[in-house]
Amino acid sequence: MINNTGIDAPGIPTVGNKPNLGELLLKRYRGRICTGFDDLEKFELIDRLQKPVLDFTFYGNKRLILEVYNFISQFPYAFIMKTKKGYDLWSLPQRGSRNVYVYISRFPKLIKFIREYEDQIPNDLWGIIHGYTLTEIHQFTYDWDEWAKKKDGMP
């Protein structure tokens, strides 16, 4: 099953379905989610093809990690889940809690690309993958001081 993740077609769009996957994940696992609240709250951007990839991080034991994997698998999205031990979630030890990094997209080949090259992707390409504007990516990556001023609301 792990080899097919992110390769199969993402299925039909679910635009307008309420609650959407992001809302369901927040409702079920809010206490476990560490980062990515904004992406999950704006999940409809994935279905409208306005955001190529969203990501979030959560923590849990093997049972919970596989529960989240099976839950997301019920929806028509390409996704990957990774711990520090890699992508093979089934070989995780039963005991202990881990952080899990999740990427979700309507573009299976983009998820496959992330899986294969995650450690080699530069910051500017990550910005494009996550759907930020090119101006913001350029400022964040190359003009950090200017980006920080705009982020903090300074002129």
> Whole-number mean pLDDT of the chain?
85
Q: For 93-122, write each residue's pLDDT tens digit.
A: 988 889 999 999 989 999 999 999 999 999
3-state helix, strand, coil in the chain (%, to 5): 50, 15, 35
Q: What is the mean pLDDT of residues 127-138?
A: 88
CB 146 within 8 A of CB 137: no
Q: For 80-91, write each residue's pLDDT tens digit.
A: 999 999 999 999
Give the residue numbers spanning the domain of 48.
Answer: 2-119
Predicted local confidence at residue 4, as pLDDT: 45
Helices marked H in 30-133:
37-41, 44-47, 62-73, 108-117, 123-129
Say whether both 108 and 134 belong to one domain. no
Say whether both 78 and 96 belong to one domain. yes
> pTM of the predicted model, to two decimals?
0.82
Say whether both 83 and 153 belong to one domain. no
Q: For 35-56, write each residue's pLDDT tens digit.
A: 999 999 999 888 888 899 999 9
The domain tally of the chain equals 2
Cβ count within 10 A of residue 66: 15
Say whether both 59 and 129 belong to one domain. no
Say whether both 130 and 154 belong to one domain. yes
Predicted local confidence at residue 3, as pLDDT: 43
